[in-house]
């Protein structure tokens, strides 16, 4: 399947994994709408690329999602959705209050539901579509001190597998990518916090972050983008591809 002139929406498309996927899609000939909360940042990224458009969205808010999708449709019908936006949290379970729990579930799971729900009817009517959910290795195994994030990402994996079976007959392909720690601003912020709190060097902080999962190195966002492109071209469905930082030097 060619991506030429296909219209893809990528949430969290202004940084890290989302931006890498957006650029990879454009290199394949797609039109891409990048979405996120920081519209000025998105517009600055998109302004020099005629294949890229910027739309603001709060994926935790249903009205914001519907407005963003309607805005994106003005460019072209939506053929592909990449649910990438999210955030991680860490700390002892007993210190987490309900408000923080609900926010993490909303951001990492309900947002994926809202975005998917907003595009699925159009895909059903067009009898084709492709959805890629960026989950995490935390959606496959559990990590200590990240209960809300792990719970949400397990939910994303379950959503992916269930909906893939439901939509298979309609020529709509739904998959998930489950990366470990990647070389992104989000992870680097966590590294800086470890350095400040524990007096570690950057490399020591990264090693300490990776050690519990057995991950040997940070994953580059372009590696994840390559898998996203492969999933599309191979017409895979219901897959949850783990990228654990162990298979390349």
Q: What is the pLDDT of residues 152-167, one digit of tens each?
A: 999 999 999 999 999 9
Active site residue 149: yes
Note the pTM of the prediction, 2 decimals: 0.94
- Give me the residues of the chain with pLDDT under 50, please: 247-249
Domain contains 41: yes
Whether 53 is in a domain gets the answer: yes
Residue 209 is assigned to a structural domain of this protein: no
Q: Let me know if residue 229 belongs to a domain.
A: yes
pLDDT at 248: 47
Is position 141 within any domain?
yes
CB-based contacts of 40, cutoff 8 Å, min separation 6: none
Catalytic-role residue among 143, 145, 149, 181:
149
Q: Phi/psi of residue 94, each to 5°?
A: -70, -15
Q: Domain with 173 in it: what CATH number?
A: 3.40.50.720
What angle in degrees, to the nearest 10, is found between the helix axes of 202-210 and 185-198?
110
Residue 172 lies in a domain: yes
Q: How many other C-beta atoms lie within 10 A of the C-beta of residue 196?
A: 10
pLDDT at residue 213, rounded to an integer = 78
Q: Total structural domains in the chain?
A: 1
Specify the length of the chain in residues.
Answer: 249
CA within 13 Å, CB half, 34: 32
Report yes or no on 122 lying in a domain.
yes
- Give, in order, the Cα–Cα distances in Å from 220 to each of 16, 143, 147, 199, 211: 9, 21, 25, 26, 18
Residue 145 structural domain: 7-182+220-243
φ/ψ (deg, to 5) at 7: -105, 115
Whether the Cβ atoms of residue 156 and residue 149 lie closer than 8 Å to each other: no
Residue at 199 is within a domain? no
Q: What is the pLDDT of residue 246?
A: 72
How high is the pLDDT of residue 194?
Answer: 87
pLDDT tens digits along 133-154: 999 999 998 888 889 999 999 9
Question: What local confidence, expressed as pLDDT, does residue 249 receive?
Answer: 41
Q: What pLDDT does residue 209 have? A: 85
């Amino acid at each position: 399947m060619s991506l030429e002139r296909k219209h893809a929406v990528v949430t969290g498309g202004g940084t890290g994994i989302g931006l890498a996927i957006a650029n990879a899609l454009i290199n394949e000939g797609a039109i891409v709408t990048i979405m996120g909360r920081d519209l000025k940042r998105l517009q600055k990224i998109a302004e020099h690329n005629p294949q890229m458009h910027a739309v603001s969205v709060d994926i935790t808010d249903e009205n914001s999602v519907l407005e963003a999708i309607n805005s994106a449709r003005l460019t072209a019908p939506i053929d592909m959705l990449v649910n990438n936006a999210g955030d991680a949290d860490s700390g002892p379970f007993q210190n987490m209050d309900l408000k923080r729990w609900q926010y993490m579930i909303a951001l990492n799971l309900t947002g994926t539901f809202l975005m998917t729900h907003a595009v699925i009817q159009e895909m059903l009517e067009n009898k084709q579509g492709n959805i890629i959910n960026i989950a995490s290795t935390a959606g496959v195994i559990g990590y200590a001190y990240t209960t809300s994030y792990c719970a949400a990402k397990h939910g994303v994996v379950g959503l992916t597998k269930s909906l893939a079976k439901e939509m298979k007959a309609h020529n709509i392909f739904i998959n998930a990518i489950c990366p470990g720690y990647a070389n992104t601003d989000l992870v680097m912020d966590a590294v800086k916090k470890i350095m400040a709190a524990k007096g570690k060097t950057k490399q020591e902080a990264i090693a300490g972050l990776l050690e519990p999962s057995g991950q040997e190195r940070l994953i580059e966002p372009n590696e994840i983008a390559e898998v996203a492109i492969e999933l599309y071209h191979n017409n895979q469905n219901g897959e949850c591809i783990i990228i654990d930082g162990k298979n390349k030097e």
